[in-house]
Amino acid sequence: MQQIINFILRNKTTLLYLFLLTLGISMSVQSHSYHRARFFNSANWLSGSLYGVQSDISSYFNLREENEKLVEENTRLRNLLFNLEIDSLEGVVKDSFPFEVIPAKIIKNSYALRNNYITINKGAVNGIEQDMGVITSKGILGIVEHTSNGFAAVQSLLNTKSNINAKIKNTNNFGSLKWNTDRFDVVQLEDIPRIVELYIGDTIVTGAMSSIFPENIPIGTIKKFDLLASENFYTIDVALFNDMTNIKNVYIIKNRDSDEIQILEEKIENDQ
């Protein structure tokens, strides 16, 4: 207590000045509407700025949580989208839907080799198996080729061994999607016959001739096409929707009917 008294005595002049200054400002603000408005505007600006900084800091630290929520929501919506037609049938329960979507993250991505692979952080313990399709929010990415307990290696679209069924959107004109290694943002669509009318900018999507991907998942748009007089099929360059150099979140598509379809196809091959 004595220390407080000594402090006041030592600084009585300064404390008196601050008291009178505060009192003068307060009286000026109260007696003049202009000063009062300026004061409250300044106070509001200061408090607003502080709240803005607080909000930015809070948003930054909550960014990971919000991102995970978005991934979960996207997963749920894609499950509904891929099973939309079946979901409209009466008496069908969720576990009988053919497609299941599993979210994952990329931990390694190559795109400058002839045969590129992508490593994701989900594996056999998460239900990931060979020949499952992998997509992003923009389009297809590749197909699972190998799995371990906690990880999986995905054969990228940018792989000379890649061969995916694709078609021109809103048509039944199918072909094979391959990669000629020239560019990491362009792949090639083959086996489209010359009788088909093509236009630059036409959208290319997944076809229905495969149990790996649902139909109509985006791939890209026609960038260029050629047709020599002696050929019956187009040479088509497809500009990918995905930026293959900058991908983080992916979705693995599990087709619950794929084993049954594969067994049936093997029986047909053995009978031939």
4-18, 64-78, 103-117, 119-133: least confidently modelled range = 64-78
Structure tokens at 45: 């600006």
Percent of the chain with pLDDT over 70: 60
Mean pLDDT, all residues of the chain? 78
pLDDT score, position 48: 45
CATH 2.40.10.340 location in the chain:
99-256
Strand partners, 156: 142
C-alpha count within 13 angstroms, C-beta hemisphere, residue 2: 0
- Would you give the DSSP letter of residue 58? H
Helix axes 12-31, 33-61, angle to 10 degrees: 110
**Pairwise CA distance, residues 78 & 86, whole Å:** 14
pLDDT score, position 25: 62
- The pLDDT tens digits for 150-209 are 999 999 999 999 999 999 998 889 999 999 999 999 999 999 999 999 999 999 999 978
**Pairwise CA distance, residues 111 & 156, whole Å:** 8
**Pairwise CA distance, residues 41 & 126, whole Å:** 56
Structure tokens at 218: 């985006």
**pLDDT tier at 2 (50, 70, 90 boundaries)?**
low
pTM for this model (two decimals): 0.67
The CATH number that domain 99-256 falls under is 2.40.10.340
pLDDT score, position 88: 41
On the question of pLDDT at 137 being above 80, the answer is: yes
